[in-house]
Structure 1
Amino acid sequence: MNKQILLPLLLIVFSGALTSCDYLDVVPDNVATIEDNAFALRADAKRFLYTCYSYMPDQASASNNPGFLASDELVFTPTYDGNSGSQVMQGNQSVVDPYLNYWEGQNGGTDLYEGVRQANIFIENIGSVPDMTETEKAQWAAEAKFLKAYYLFYLTRMYGPIVLPKENISVSESTEGVRVTREPVDEVFSYIVQLLDKAITDLPDEITNQEANLGRITKTIAYGIKAKVLVTAASPLFNGNQDYAGFANKDGEIMFNQEYDPAKWDSALVATQEAIDFAEQMGHSLHYFESSVGNTGISDSTKYKLNVRTSVTEQWNSEIIWANTDNSTYSLQRDAAPRGIEPAYVKDNTNPWGRFGVPFHVVELFYSDNGVPIEEDKTWEYGSRYNFKTITEQDRFYLKPGYITANMNFNREPRFYASLGFDGAIWYGQGHYDDKSNEQLYIQSKKGQPASEQHIGRFSMSGYWPKKLFHYQTVVSRSSFNTKSYPWPVLRLTDLYLLHAEAKNEVDGPGPDVYDYVNRIRERAGLPSVQDAWTKYSVDPNKFKTKEGMRDIIHQERMIELAFEAKRFWDLRRWKEASLVLNQPLSGWSINQVEEKAYYRPRTFFQQKFTARDYLWPISEEALLTNTKLTQNPGW
């Protein structure tokens, strides 16, 4: 199939600006075919397979992953609000030139349809490679099937009903024949699951040559993504969503089913259990921090914090099921930490930039130290949370004794202190590993202090930073920013535990299995069980005993445990809660004040916008004009 003929035709089909692979560029145009060159030998086929991997979204990028800045967990300073995700969050999405356009690969989005096309070519041709065993061919084809399924899933979460390019269209197809319609979401999910099931058959159980192949797809990864796909398909956005009653394609097919189908949760429950069982069989388990040279003998409080932080930042720990090795976390770490971690270096350009701010409504999601929401805890003074007081020795592992900070920062769960940096908070790391010494670093962020606005655009809008994303062994010096790198964790075991609890609760209501998987995560974070915490401390002690109450608890557990991992963005949408949550003011402290009484005053710095149309991404006007069989998403 000649490259010069193939590309223009597929440009019409997928309405994307296609980019050719580097190694295909060495093939003389109009002379050789893909089959003759890209699949001539095993080495050539391997390069093509890696090209299929290259279309993976840049999930560690705040500029390219909508889960970071298109949601409400993180905000950039106004100097950098040209970021595509920030524009979406502000309600500035457009059909003329959509931000984070993954349909065509524009404005920060990857061309996922081109990734599907490359996977199709690979699947169709891998069987012809002469110097490979049949087993290896089957495994590589399975990897391509998984990637195709994942790219289609990514598109479905964004756009809902999509075009399903099950095979590449023949070069002999008519102009009308290459114009294709979108498929109903149930058919899309069914096809994605079929692809994953086919891939699972031939994928390896685990990576044996870890040095060369870590990051490549295994059965464990495929089982995990299948679970996410089926939970998504069962969720309110895609299961009986009557808001899309009149939404049809050009053939008149209704795109969203109108009747809620509880059987979808049954399928999700089976898939989540299967994924967990296989992952644990392969040795995956919840990660607990292990002391190393320099930090032996640390307190339990610090260990609980590091359990949480290192479950994300410790590369290839036992909890990581899938990590994207092509994603650098340098920029995330640079923006997650405040300037002035080492006060002496605050004027140096090598400092962290600290541009991420965490709004109050996310800060307030974290539990009290009793393990229940702060507004529910009958022992926690919710009404005075914006007042302030002096820190005592009792809180020395979380807060700086003698310093003054807000009441909101006292008596919170360990995940609060593991995930957030703020005025008066201990910042464990930076070469200071003895948590019992007086050398522990802490944040000072009022006006004129090291973590305040010392450089244009390099500060937190709210006075809170997502410390969880910053490896505790990353070190700032006067002349450099020495990042302890880690591959971005796409899927962790905790994610599967919570998905399973969610599915089990939807099928059978609360019970031992639901509580068990949630409590495993809570125990790792130093919290009492759901049953004990709500019974003893909540103003609603029976909440965990009803399906609706336990649903709320599971949702909040996901928001806390997976905070700043780009999961909240997708969860709020599939639950159909985004229109409620993402239409509130974004607030923080009055960061440009010197005195505590002025600094610790809440202020609104932005009013977020989200309408019903924002549940689905718009298809560009150009794509609609190119393929007249496409229909636009409702509201656009």
Structure 2
Amino acid sequence: MLKIFNKIKTSVLIAGVALMSLASCNDYLDVVPDGGDPTLDDAFNLRSTAIRYRGTCYSYMQKDGFGSGDPALLGGDELWDLYPRTTQKYIGQTMTMIARGLQSKSNVYGNDWDHYFTAIRDCDNLIDNVDKVPDMTDEEKAQWKAEGRFLKAYYHFCLIRKWGAIPITKHSLPMDASVEEVRVYRDPIDSCFNFVLDEIDKAIPYLSESFDESEYGYVTKAAAAAMKARVACYAASPLFNGNEDQKNLVDKRGVQLFPAKTEEQKLERWKYAMQACKDAIDECEKVNIKLYTGQDITLRLGDNDTLKTDLILRGTLCQPWNTELIWGNTQLSWGSSERQYWQMLATVDLQAKTLGMSGPITGYRCVGVPLKIAEEFYTKHGVPITVDRDRQNGWNELDIVRGDEAHKYYIEKGYETVKLNFDREPRFYAYLGFDGGKWLGQLPEATLQKAPGQLSPEDIFDVECRNGKYANKLGGNQGPVTGYFPKRTIPYQNRVSGNAGTNVSTTFFPYPIIRLTDLYLLYAEAINEVEGPNGPNSAEMFKCLNDIRERAHIPDVKTAWDSYSTNPGYYSTQAGMRAIIHQDRMNEMAFESQRFWDLRRWKEAPAEYSKNIYGFNLNASDPTEYYKKTLVFEQPFLLRDYFWPISTSIMEHNPNLIQNTGW
């Protein structure tokens, strides 16, 4: 694991932030030289101190997957936080403000503009000074400089996806920079992406192919290539690629930050992205990165394919260092207190029912999955529920069914639940907890010691959250919120117990920044945008999608649509294939901090947000009342919400910056 280190004492000018804005890198070194305060030179006197500076450069990484810091987790429409609640001591509700449309230029939520420009300066310091370290080889110095270069590019990308066009920092300004020099302008969006892509290209040849376990989390060639592919796909996507909605974003120099493009120019971006994805997949194959198939599952499942599939699908997110993880974020331990807080807020104490407990013992359950996300998962036939020939009317809230033998590992036998929960794809059951649903986790030691293959449906706990059940809604501080839970984010080994569910044990895993499945989906998307579903690379496109579907135990694209849908051949047009790829991506990547950004780059957020946040009637005990579709929140999304506002204070200090559209 990487470690986060404090920073060296020095004040520096941050390019693009504000007039005479000073950023302090405080207390980097733990060892203070005899002469007084540590200096930048002290950081590079020895490898043992330089490695701390290297760690500092990584420490700025986006805290993906952490509720209080990741806008893509609780700031969108994929998960919904109970609001208001007083349990913010566990996970604050800053990101929830974004989801509720409360962003403003005077109080910018998730504002890490200064944070990333400080990170970029530290990366420049690493690049500029690592050659001074006496006890390092030239090869290792080149590698560290390449890591600094890559991270610098990555931090630019983190800024771009939030603010769009930004000031490019080719090299951080010197301490004696003039007032006019620090009053920088935003660069056009294509220049921003070109800079990031060029910097990654320069870094890749010098990066390591792999690290031993003690250095997991540092960037490798495959990780850099994969991130290049993601950046290239963003650059090609409608939000950034000739976006006419931003045509009036012109600075005082007359520079258009989102210039108009011809269709051919837009297509060139997709062609570049397609090649970048192919190159990244090839790089991953060199180091044996492959789809995860559960080789390291320790639970004694024997030949129980249903349960093994459940753990494989959940493990793609939370099985540590699984075979398809390309780059994992180790900046905060998922065994840390915030990981425990997420456990308290996003799940239930599954053992409470058998122990005869109810109420506070079951945790807070403050994070729910909106009903529309549950609806988006496919049926067992691999098509949307609204076009499945067997269920073309979708679902009826009054259609209540008892759990049966066919669903015994998914739904409690005999328990009444809505038909929406029946005959769905395995990811539905692996990713979601719901009333009457089975949840493989928190198993007693005696159960764990059973002979392989002897784990019965009765051994697996179920969720019961209707009124009067053990995990029912208890008030403003305790859920459920919608009636669905993000099961996928919780390792099956985790435990919840104690007063108010505050005694928890968690399993460490690095949150996936990018994994191979993500890359496959991006490659399929790029191929379709370049040539549609009938071009020379269509076989590769379908293979990427079908390999993922095969692991999820659903039919391949053509079989699914031709054999089970009301719209055979839907995949034969570019528009139809685009819709399929987008939904395949939403289902596979659920709760993985991708939907938030994808809906924006595709410019599909207004349509999705207009569906609003719905759940069930959580205060009801009778299933015919409980399963009535109930509005939780009318979610707004305006044109301005595609990008963050630049804070008022920064705009006041630097009059050369222009505010984003709508703010």
Q: TM-score when scaled to structure 2? A: 0.90
Query: Structure 2 residue aligned with 1:116, among 112, 120, 125?
Result: 120
Query: Structure 1 residue aligned with 2:272, among 267, 270, 293?
Result: 267
Distance 1:410 1:9, change over 3 A: closer
Q: The residue matched to 1:93 in structure 2 has which SS?
A: coil
Shift of 1:335: 2.7
Shift of 1:293: 5.2
Alignment match, 1:309: 314
Alignment match, 2:531: 508
1:359 aligns with 2:364: no
Distance 1:147 1:528, change over 3 A: same
1:129 aligns with 2:133: yes
Q: The residue matched to 1:438 in structure 2 has which SS?
A: helix
Q: Which moved more, 1:8-17 or 1:580-589?
A: 8-17
Alignment match, 1:107: none
Alignment match, 1:108: none
Shift of 1:172: 2.5
CA offsets 1:75-128 (integer angstroms, 9 cap, x no match): 111134961211111111010020000113xxxxxx111111111111111111
Shift of 1:322: 0.8
Shift of 1:6: 4.0
- After superposition, the CA RMSD in angstroms is 2.3
Q: Distance in 2 between matches of 1:382 and 1:95?
A: 44
Q: Distance in 1 between matches of 2:298 and 2:646?
A: 53
Query: Structure 1 residue aligned with 2:509, among 486, 507, 528?
Result: 486
Alignment match, 2:465: 445
1:43 aligns with 2:48: yes
- Partner letter of residue 546 of structure 1? T
Distance 1:290 1:400, change over 3 A: farther
Alignment match, 1:591: 618
Q: The residue matched to 1:7 in structure 2 has which SS?
A: strand
Q: The residue matched to 2:95 in structure 1 has which SS?
A: helix
Alignment match, 1:68: 73
Q: Distance in 2 between matches of 1:350 and 1:144?
A: 47
Q: Distance in 2 between matches of 1:512 and 1:327?
A: 40
Alignment match, 1:399: 411
Distance 1:36 1:57, change over 3 A: same
Alpha-carbon contact 1:501-1:514 (below 8 Å) kept = yes
Alpha-carbon contact 1:444-1:452 (below 8 Å) kept = yes
Distance 1:438 1:12, change over 3 A: closer
Alpha-carbon contact 1:59-1:327 (below 8 Å) kept = no
Shift of 1:463: 0.4
Q: Distance in 2 between matches of 1:266 and 1:12?
A: 34
Alignment match, 2:288: 283
Distance 1:341 1:301, change over 3 A: same
Where do 1:552-631 residues align within 5 Å? 552-631=579-658
Query: Structure 1 residue aligned with 2:110, among 69, 94, 100?
Result: 100
Q: Distance in 1 between matches of 2:289 and 2:140?
A: 25
Q: Distance in 1 between matches of 2:223 and 2:488?
A: 24
Alpha-carbon contact 1:476-1:482 (below 8 Å) kept = yes
- Partner letter of residue 141 of structure 1? K
Q: The residue matched to 1:354 in structure 2 has which SS?
A: coil
CA offsets 1:239-267 (integer angstroms, 9 cap, x no match): 11111112122322111131142011110
- Partner letter of residue 101 of structure 2? G
Q: The residue matched to 1:78 in structure 2 has which SS?
A: coil
CA offsets 1:496-533 (integer angstroms, 9 cap, x no match): 00000000111121122111100000000001110000
Shift of 1:477: 4.2
Shift of 1:157: 0.4
Q: Which moved more, 1:387-396 or 1:370-379?
A: 387-396
Q: The residue matched to 2:80 in structure 1 has which SS?
A: coil
Alignment match, 2:451: none
- Partner letter of residue 587 of structure 1? Y
Alignment match, 1:172: 176
Alignment match, 2:224: 222
Q: Distance in 1 between matches of 2:274 and 2:161?
A: 20
Q: The residue matched to 1:271 in structure 2 has which SS?
A: helix
CA offsets 1:161-181 (integer angstroms, 9 cap, x no match): 001111121222211121101
Shift of 1:593: 0.6
1:475 aligns with 2:495: yes
CA offsets 1:168-203 (integer angstroms, 9 cap, x no match): 212222111211011011001010011111110110
Where do 1:30-429 residues align within 5 Å? 34-80=39-85, 83-104=93-114, 111-207=115-211, 209-210=212-213, 212-259=214-261, 260=263, 261-290=266-295, 294-329=299-334, 330=339, 331-343=341-353, 344=355, 346-347=357-358, 351-380=362-391, 382-386=393-397, 387-429=399-441
Alpha-carbon contact 1:346-1:454 (below 8 Å) kept = no
Q: Which moved more, 1:60-69 or 1:517-526?
A: 60-69
Q: Which moved more, 1:385-394 or 1:526-535?
A: 385-394
Q: Which moved more, 1:345-354 or 1:61-70?
A: 345-354
Shift of 1:294: 4.6
Q: Distance in 1 between matches of 2:239 and 2:229?
A: 17
Q: Distance in 1 between matches of 2:237 and 2:46?
A: 45
Q: Distance in 1 between matches of 2:545 and 2:357?
A: 41
Q: Distance in 2 between matches of 1:328 and 1:36?
A: 31
Q: Which moved more, 1:561-570 or 1:13-22?
A: 13-22
- Partner letter of residue 37 of structure 1? D
Shift of 1:576: 0.6
Q: Which moved more, 1:470-479 or 1:246-255?
A: 470-479
Q: Which moved more, 1:259-268 or 1:569-578?
A: 259-268
Q: Distance in 1 between matches of 2:74 and 2:604?
A: 17
Distance 1:254 1:12, change over 3 A: closer
Alpha-carbon contact 2:16-2:182 (below 8 Å) kept = no
- Partner letter of residue 436 of structure 2? G
Shift of 1:279: 0.5
Q: Distance in 2 between matches of 1:360 and 1:421?
A: 12
Alpha-carbon contact 1:334-1:354 (below 8 Å) kept = yes
CA offsets 1:329-383 (integer angstroms, 9 cap, x no match): 3233333312445323755867543221111111100001111000011111535
Structure 1 residue ranges without an equivalent (≥5): 105-110
1:528 aligns with 2:545: no
Alpha-carbon contact 1:448-1:454 (below 8 Å) kept = no
Alignment match, 1:458: 478
Structure 2 residue ranges without an equivalent (≥5): 1-7, 449-453
Shift of 1:280: 1.6
Q: Distance in 2 between matches of 1:186 and 1:8?
A: 26
Q: Distance in 2 between matches of 1:26 and 1:181?
A: 39
Q: The residue matched to 1:502 in structure 2 has which SS?
A: helix
Q: Distance in 2 between matches of 1:412 and 1:79?
A: 33
Alpha-carbon contact 2:77-2:609 (below 8 Å) kept = yes
Alpha-carbon contact 1:430-1:474 (below 8 Å) kept = yes
Distance 1:294 1:614, change over 3 A: closer
- Partner letter of residue 468 of structure 2? G
Q: Distance in 2 between matches of 1:581 and 1:530?
A: 23
Distance 1:21 1:512, change over 3 A: same
Distance 1:16 1:35, change over 3 A: closer
CA offsets 1:261-315 (integer angstroms, 9 cap, x no match): 2011110000001111111221111111247555232522222222210111110
Q: Which moved more, 1:339-348 or 1:138-147?
A: 339-348
- Partner letter of residue 377 of structure 1? D
Shift of 1:392: 1.2
